[in-house]
Amino acid sequence: FDSWFDNYQGVIVLVRGFDGTVRAGKKIKMMSTGNEFEVAQVGIFTPKMQPSEELSSGEVGYIIAGIKNVTDTKIGDTITDVNTPAQEPCLGYKDIKPMVFCGLYPTIPHEYDSLRDALNKLRLNDSSFNYEPETSLALGFGFRCGFLGLLHMEIIKERLEREFDLSLLSTAPTVVYKVTKSDAEVIHIENPALLPDKYEIIEEPFVLVTIFVPKVYIGPIFDLCQEKRGTQKNFTFIGKDKIKVEYELPLNEILWDFYDRLKSISKGYASMDYAFLGFRESDLVKLNIMINGEIIDALSLIVHKEKSYYKGRELSEKLRGIIPRQMYEVVIQAAIGSKIIARESVRALRKDVLAKCYGGDITRKRKLLEKQKEGKKRMKQIGRIELPQEAFLAVLKVK
């Protein structure tokens, strides 16, 4: 039911005995993976680790078997004897699948190896967290990480920054989408930038959200759930003043500001929980953000078509206030495919090139202004904008 990594003994597995015994020297097998190991030590906690001769049915203890990788020991898995294996694993085991994804990038490029090592160490003690290398045109080399939820994501990011002294830039959290391509191939997309231009069907994950709230706040709660594309499934009074309401909602909608707004509306009295239901077809589109004509893949979003124009306009406005002014104009555009749906500009900083011209021929002044104009045009062609972390956090604040 748990495990952690020891630098000298390998993975230490915490177990509960259901049937039979296990002792040092016995060969065991993980039923979910089929991996086999020889037991080096068994014991109990008193609360310190205390070695014992064997663990038998009904006892709770630990097993050390020279396991080098935490991924070989999955929580809820069944361990059996290699020589007399169990026919069926214990009921209740489910493979843990991440539901929320985001990109983590080092703000200093040469810290990429340090970030990889830090993720490796966290992975040893947290089998529910996974990651894979990712390259972004805007942010460089980083990792696409999968989490169980938003709280899990915040904890991992906080540990990376505090325990490993890393400075990180994180993209907006997203969910996994199920896409059926034109050739009937079904793929799962975790990064909005990877959504193909042409596809037949796109499906998003839905969850059943259970909300407990005092009845005085139920009206605004209904409005919030309707705004988030929710469908009411149940409504029950709990006592005289409290209500339990259930809604089916897209997981993507509750990732953003749903919980904060729920708490704000109810003055902190509402609570919620959610359970995964499955994938359902939705009318979704990819919203691209372009800066000076270049698509910033880390800011790409998959949004519902009805909300795409509003979100594109609001995000462009927020970015205009965040991106620092340059020596040339910065153009921010929101696009769906080849169609531009919103445009904002960050005005250029202007140097007074006429400061030293005290009168004289107007032709001289015109030449200086034309030269400045050409220089800014050239800077715009070769210049690159450094986006602050606030630019990516702005995505989270779009309602």
For the record, the structure tokens of 302 come out as 């998959």
How large is the average pLDDT for residues 64-85? 78
**Between 216 and 324, where is the model more confident?**
216
Q: Quickly state the pLDDT bin for 386 (edges 50, 70, 90).
A: low
**pLDDT at residue number 265:** 92
358's CB contacts (< 8 A; 6+ apart) are none
User: Do the domains 100-170 and 286-396 sit in the same CATH topology, yes or no?
Assistant: yes
**Alpha helix locations (H) across 164-297?**
218-227, 251-254, 258-265
Note the pLDDT of residue 137. Answer: 74
pLDDT tens track for 100-150? 888 898 888 888 999 998 888 787 667 778 888 988 777 788 999 988 877
Token reading at 74: 């999955």
- In tens, the pLDDT along 300-334 reads 888 898 888 988 898 888 888 878 777 767 888 99
Distance in angstroms (rounded) separating the CA atoms of residues 209 and 276: 9
Instruction: Please say whether the beta carbons of 168 and 392 come within 8 A.
Output: no
Name the packing angle between helices 258-265 and 218-227 (round to 10°). Answer: 160
Specify the fold of 286-396. Alpha-Beta Plaits (3.30.70)
DSSP letter for each residue of 100-150: EEEEEEESSGGGHHHHHHHHHHHHHH-TT-EEEEEEETTTEEEEEEEESSH
The pLDDT score that the predictor gives to residue 230 is 92
- pLDDT at residue 193 in the model: 83
The pLDDT mean for the chain works out to: 81
Cα separation, 94 vs 110, in Å, equals 38
Of 3.30.70.240, 3.10.129.10, 3.40.190.10, 3.30.70.260, the CATH number of 201-281 is 3.30.70.240
Tell me what pLDDT residue 399 has: 56
The band of 360, judged by pLDDT with boundaries at 50, 70 and 90, is: low
Of the pLDDT bands very low, low, confident and very high (cuts 50, 70, 90), residue 255 is: confident
pLDDT of residue 361: 66
Judge whether residue 380 has pLDDT over 50.
Answer: no
The CATH code belonging to domain 2-81 is: 2.40.30.10
Q: Is this structure's pTM higher than 0.85?
A: no
Characterise 70 by phi-psi region: left (phi > 0), alpha (psi -120 to 50), beta (else): alpha
Extents of the domains making up the chain? 2-81, 100-170, 201-281, 286-396
Query: Which CATH number describes the domain made up of 100-170?
Result: 3.30.70.870
Q: Residue 208's pLDDT is what?
A: 93
Distance, in Å, from the CA atom of 178 to the CA atom of 288, rounded to the nearest integer, reads 19
Over 80: is that where the pLDDT of 354 sits? no
CB contact at 8 A, 212 and 244: yes
Weakest-pLDDT range from 116-120, 255-259, 319-323, 355-359: 355-359
Q: What percent of the chain has pLDDT over 70?
A: 84
- Mean pLDDT confidence for 170-192: 87
Residue 325 has which token pair?
Answer: 């002014």
Lowest model confidence (mean pLDDT) among 210-214, 270-274, 358-362: 358-362
User: Minimum mean pLDDT among 189-193, 249-253, 262-266: which range?
Assistant: 189-193
